[in-house]
Structure 1
């Protein structure tokens, strides 16, 4: 129960910092998450709300990475298991990570009622959190941006949510 309360507090703090960053123009550029064994960065301008996974309704005859639909503040959102989607796309592998998963909605400006399930919320990051960067690996899907390396040597892959949300493969959930 204490873990659940701590997760809710973290989500509330991240949501308020995310909103402050959008309205005040803070130097923070990304929402940092972990999906499976890999770490990712979502551009703040393309990210939406952070909510816990609850009352997920499965959709029959859909692909494995499409977890179903969920009511978020009165809107119906399709929920995608990000790690599973990326694994089937040849980016990483699906590993189970301990913790309570959360979903991050895509910004309403992207005009797609979609949320990405992530395993760990890691906070907000700015360019100053990284010591170096390089482009994506050759042959990577077009939605993958630069790879950033932090001071601990951890790699963080940027995901362009706009490009991802417009990908025909991402939009096609039928099995």
Structure 2
């Protein structure tokens, strides 16, 4: 009897979460908002894939420092890339901080089995969540980021958000060359 009640509670919670997600996307959400290395990014929803909690990776020798290795994500092997380090501003990570990161799989339509290490998921955003467009990006955005950022916005708190085009990121020669 207790198992049935627990199952009903779980189904109720799932239904509530689905309804909340539907109502949020009806606001015309266009991006998944993330933080990586203290910087704010907006990732187009059609380019982002599934989100996974940190489960560790199998290290691969003789690769660049931003390529952490491979992870099994629902039966698919994906290369794990530290987004901060790849964009040119590595962050020192402790074992404790690794348990706070997430892996964001790149959408399979981009034909790259990769997942990005992101520090924080900030929810869904739409144009209406920002007060200005085309704001100046603070210095230190990393040498590679410039070619992958298509726009920038400022929110009501004054934080700058950059739209990072994942389809550009995963096709750069740097991203595709992981060997030292």
TM bucket (normalised to shorter chain) is 0.7 to 0.9
> What's the counterpart of residue 113 of structure 2?
113
Counterpart in 1 of 2:163? 158
Report the Cα distance in structure 1 between the residues aligned to 2:135 and 2:65, rounded to whole angstroms.
29
When residues 54 and 130 of structure 1 are mapped into structure 2, their CA distance, relative to the original with a 3 A threshold, is same
Partner residue, 1:56: 57
**Structure holding more strand per residue:** 1
Gaps of 5+ in 2: 1-12, 138-142
| 1:148–1:157 CA contact under 8 A, matched in 2 | yes
> Residue 83 and residue 51 in structure 1: after superposition, are their counterparts in 2 closer, same or farther (change >3 A)?
same
Which of the residues 90, 94, 98 maps onto 1:94?
90
Contact 2:27 / 2:126 at 8 angstroms: preserved in 1? Answer: no
Q: 1:108, 1:155 → 2: CA distance?
A: 28
Give the unaligned 5+ runs of structure 1: 1-8, 88-92
| Counterpart position of 1:148 | 153
Deviation at 1:144, TM superposition (A): 1.2
Supply the distance in 1 between the matched residues of 2:179 and 2:92 (Cα, whole angstroms).
Answer: 24
- TM-score normalised by length of structure 1: 0.79
Matched residues, number: 153
Q: What is the alpha-carbon distance in structure 2 between the residues aligned to residue 32 and residue 100 of structure 1?
A: 16
Aligned residue in 1 for 2:104: 104
Per-residue deviation, 1:143: 1.3
Is contact 1:50-1:102 (8 Å) kept? Answer: yes
Task: Note the C-alpha offset of 1:153.
Answer: 0.3
